[in-house]
Chain A
């Protein structure tokens, strides 16, 4: 069994891309059920952690307020899961609710 980092990104800036309050409510429930499902399969490698949405960005010129949006998507969250290989991790990520709002999931295997 390997560990994989799953990073969820989506566009949190463009007005048209944002869910309505009802959609958001439903969306949160989808996230919760998805996490519940992963936990029920004992696939969570670490306790879930919430992350602040804004953050800071540091480079050689100094520190600026986040989020980092040179690409349109910014990080919504990340989790570490247990999976056999990249195929299984990708299959799990296919169920991620971030995809419903045009987001994506980046996967990295722990080595």
Chain B
């Protein structure tokens, strides 16, 4: 591989590993120093490799370079010595003459886990947590993050910096969470990772590669949690299963021009069977203990959707899962999906009665659902509902889907 391709790939995989290790070593107050050292390491790599060629083991080369740069930095910088060195000494054995920068697999994994829990700290808003996660845990640059959020760079830059400042103000420790901390905080961590995934999966950004990257990164972080014994919990596996099932349809759900292809119209041959199998595996791993998280329910629903054939058993199961999900936590979109499942089990007339009780009159999906339910019963009413939906829809792809529904009725 040419280094033009190699370096960006290594950057994606190694940047956050080294940053995590250095951040864990330096503490949250010096997070920028860690980032600077690692950025500088990659810059040096880029310069050196283009002259001398790619080293035999590029990753090891990067680790050695990062270690040396860190040691040099510590020697050179007096401010750093007096300020941080004392902090570091607390955590390293006193008889150790030199600070050990441990880039072993185990320490990388531990540091990454510590960083995940630091980044997903509820002292920052969810939006800020996601941006920070992309930056610190996934090695995404400001450009990519602003692309993903469809926001401008300035806004993202400020958001990330404010989030870092907040972590410093609150003096959040970067350390491996204890079991009781994990129990308290795993919900927040999983939620942030799921939001990160959804950002990629549902984003209206046309940049498919970037969106896929977000999904992959969310899955990588979840896998990291699974690999660590203390965070390998039933709900972590359930979230992983859910993401595998969703991702299995990634290629089938958008057309050549980026338009959304609805589930019923998807080409099943584009579904990724390997991911479905992985999802099934994680779903079975999740069914231990007695916690039934919303990820279990959502993964269950997603599992039934990997079976394309419409059977009453399939929809009865989906309805049951949606019932449990909506009872656990109200959300308009779950309410609408539940009603759709109800129409598959009890028929459209029964579902219309239920749908009309939902009263989600500012939601275009609500009118799309009513339009869909009325389609074979009263096409005039169906048309009215779809037109209301069209008026409320904001994104081009949503409008296109509704317009297609209207065309089919006419």
Contact = CB atoms under 8 A, between A and B. Distances in A.
Interface in B282-321: 319-320
A61 to B, nearest CB: 39
A39 B320 contact: no
Given A32-B320, A36-B322, A44 B330 contact: yes
Contact of A39 (B319, B327, B342): B327
A44 B327 contact: yes
A102 to B, nearest CB: 24
B357 A41 contact: yes
A32 B297 CA distance: 15
A44 B324 CA distance: 13
Interface string B322-347: 11101110100011001100100000
A3 B358 CA distance: 18
A22 to B, nearest CB: 15
A64 interface: no
Contacts of A41: 335, 357-359
Interface in A1-35: 29, 32-33, 35
B354 interface: yes
A81 to B, nearest CB: 12
Given A35-B327, A48-B327, A40 B358 contact: yes
Nearest to A32: B323
Interface in A31-70: 32-33, 35-37, 39-42, 44, 47-48
A40 B335 contact: yes
Chain B contact residues: over half helix, strand or loop, or mixed? Answer: helix
Interface string B136-178: 0000000000000000000000000000000000000000000
B326 A40 contact: yes
Nearest to A42: B330
A6 B339 CA distance: 24
Nearest to A35: B327
A48 B326 CA distance: 11
A40 B338 contact: yes
Nearest to B334: A40
B335 A42 contact: yes
A35 to B, nearest CB: 6
B327 A36 contact: yes
Interface in A58-99: none
Contacts of B358: 40-41
Contacts of A36: 319, 322-324, 326-327, 338
B354 A40 contact: yes
Contacts of A37: 354, 357
Contacts of B335: 39-42
B330 A39 contact: yes
Contacts of B320: 29, 32
B335 to A, nearest CB: 4
A27 to B, nearest CB: 14
Contacts of A40: 326, 330, 334-335, 338-339, 354, 357-358
A49 to B, nearest CB: 11
Given A32-B323, A47-B327, 19 more contacts: A32-B324, A36-B323, A36-B324, A36-B327, A37-B354, A37-B357, A39-B323, A39-B326, A39-B327, A40-B334, A40-B338, A40-B339, A40-B354, A41-B357, A41-B358, A41-B359, A44-B327, A44-B330, A47-B328
24 contacts: A32-B320, A32-B323, A32-B324, A35-B323, A35-B327, A36-B324, A36-B326, A37-B357, A39-B327, A39-B330, A39-B335, A40-B330, A40-B334, A40-B338, A40-B354, A41-B335, A41-B357, A41-B358, A41-B359, A42-B335, A44-B327, A44-B330, A47-B327, A47-B328
Interface of A: 29, 32-33, 35-37, 39-42, 44, 47-48
What 5 pairs between A and B have smallest CB-CB spacing? A36-B323, A40-B335, A39-B326, A39-B327, A42-B330
